[in-house]
Structures are given as structure tokens and as C-alpha cells.
Structure 1
Amino acid sequence: MPDKKTAETKVEVTAAAPAEKKATAAKKPAEKKATAAKKPAAKKTAAAAVDSKVVIQAMGSEVNTAELIAKATKASGAKTVKKVDVYVRPEVNKVYYVVNGDILGDFDLF
């Protein structure tokens, strides 16, 4: 009958062998993902070159979204603006904004 130390050693060796294979297999796909990650970045640059304009028309008037962002930025009084979220509610003639995630406010749409 084998002693317990021999049986434990066999279990440890058997368990260590698959772990080594997994580590080797994990390295190869990681290299492929790094190469694939570079390609979508180039596509984003091409998409950013598209000229676009959004105009909101309501109650016989219209306003450009760029104007709304500029008004929200100015109304916030923030010195440095990293992010501007604008929410337009034409049914109540209001524009609500959040600048840098912490400055809230509103102004009339028209």
C-alpha cells in the first residue's frame, strides 16, 4: 500500500501540468488581441471625419445642437469643461444640462 506522501505528490504533479498548458495557451491569444485592437482605432478616425449637424425644430423655431452645448457650457460657469450632457424637452421649452458630471442647470430652449 503506498504511503500518503507519494499519493499527494502525484496529485500535485498532475494538477501542475494542466496549469502550465493553460498559461502557455493564454499567452498566444493575448498577442493576437493586441494586434486586433489597433485596427478598430483606425476605423474610428475615419468615422470622426464625417461632417454632421443636428437641428431641433419645435414650436415654429429651430436650434442647432452645437449652440445648445455652447449655451450650457457658458451657463455652467465651469473653467475647464471635459464633458457636457444636454437634455432637450421641447414640450416644456427647456434644456437641462450636466457639465463635468457635477454642475447642473437649465435654460429656455427658444
Structure 2
Amino acid sequence: MATKSTAKTKTAVKETKQVPVNVLADTVKKAETVDAKTKEAETKKDTVKKTSAAKETVKETVKKATEKKAPAKKEPAKKSAAKKEIKIKTYVQYMGRQVEEKDMIAAVKKAWTKENKKKVGDIKDIALYIKPEDGAVYYVVNGTDTGSVQY
């Protein structure tokens, strides 16, 4: 007498025999194709990960390089600005007399330090008002102290 498991095995064998061989071959090919596509997808994922890591490395390298080069670029720019500074001399001429601007400024500094008993380093700004007909330079130092100097 046949047992239940033997009967099931015989039925399974009959069902297997009924599947055509070409269908089985197609199923095997499809399984191989799926395996190949899975491996290809995994390879692409690995490539994307490696590419992303390489991009990050390049970004960091570029960032470090620009940080190092940026200060070097700024320094020459400052030097070139200083080289382009124009020297200016100003003269006031009136009735046969001539006075240079730097001489007027020196006289104002001397008078201001003498009158106020302060140092030249305390001067932040000077406004000069030149009146050739009076032969005088009127000044305002630091916006508050006023006076005049004859030239």
C-alpha cells in the first residue's frame, strides 16, 4: 500500500513530466537574466557610491586649495592699489606770494599743538580755509578746535 507522501511524490513527478522542456529552458534563461541584472544593478550602485565619494574628495580638495590661494590673491591687490596712489601738491598763489599745502598743514599742526597742549597724534581731521587777501589759513581740527595761522 502506498503512503500519502509517496502518492504526493508520484503526482509531483507526473506534473513535472507534463511541463515541456522548452518552457523549463526559458524559465532557466529568465532566472539567469534576472541574476545578471541584479548583479549589474549592484555593480552600478557600487560605482555610484565610489563616484559620489570621489566627488566629495574633489570638492574638499578644491575647497582647501581655494582657501589657501585666496589670501595670496588679496595681498597683491592691496599692493597694486598702493602703487597706484597719486601724489598731489597744492599751491596757493596770490599777489606774488606762493604757499604749498604741506607748509600750511605743518603750520596748523604746530599752532594747534602749542595752543591746546596736545600731540599731533590726537588730530583726526583738519579742515583748511585759505584767505589769500588776509594772508591767513583758518582751520578746524577734529571738528571742534578752531584757529588761524598767518603765512
Matched, 1:105 2:150: no
Q: Deviations over 1:13-37 (max 9, x none)?
A: xxxxxxxxxxxxxxxxxxxxxxxxx
Partner Cα distance (2:144, 2:85) in 1: 30
- Structure 1 residue 72, shift from structure 2 partner: 0.6
Q: Please report how far the alpha carbon of residue 46 of structure 1 lies from its aligned counterpart in structure 2 after TM superposition.
A: 5.9
RMSD: 2.4
| Contact 1:73–1:99, Cα closer than 8 Å, also in 2 | no
The aligned counterpart of 2:41 is none
Separation in 2, partners of 1:86, 1:74: 14
Residue number among 95, 99, 104 corresponding to 1:68 in the alignment: 104
Q: Bigger radius of gyration, 1 or 2?
A: 2
Q: Aligned residues: percent identity?
A: 35
Counterpart-to-counterpart distance in 2, 1:108 and 1:48: 35
Structure having the higher helix fraction is 2
Residue equivalent to 2:134 = 92
Q: Which has the higher contact order (CA 8 A, sep 6+)?
A: 1
How many Å separate the matches in 2 of 1:48 and 1:85? 25
Please give the alpha-carbon distance, in whole angstroms, between the structure 1 residues aligned to 2:84 and 2:137. Answer: 26
Normalised TM-score (structure 2) = 0.40
Distance 2:111 2:131 in 1: 17
Structure 2 counterpart of 1:81, from 103, 123, 136: 123
Q: Give the conservation status (yes or no) of the 8 Å contact 1:73–1:84.
A: no
Aligned length: 69
Superposed, 1:2-81 pairs within 5 Å as: 45=81, 49-77=85-113, 78-79=118-119, 80-81=122-123
The CA deviation at 1:100 is: 1.0
Q: Which 4+ runs in 1 deviate beyond 2 A?
A: 45-48
Q: Which runs of 5+ in 2 are unaligned?
A: 1-77
Distance 1:101 1:108 in 2: 21
The code of the aligned residue for 1:66 comes to: K
**2: CA distance between counterparts of 1:88 and 1:82?**
20
Going by fraction, where is strand more abundant, 1 or 2? 1
TM-score scaled to structure 1, two decimals? 0.54
Shift of 1:108: 1.2
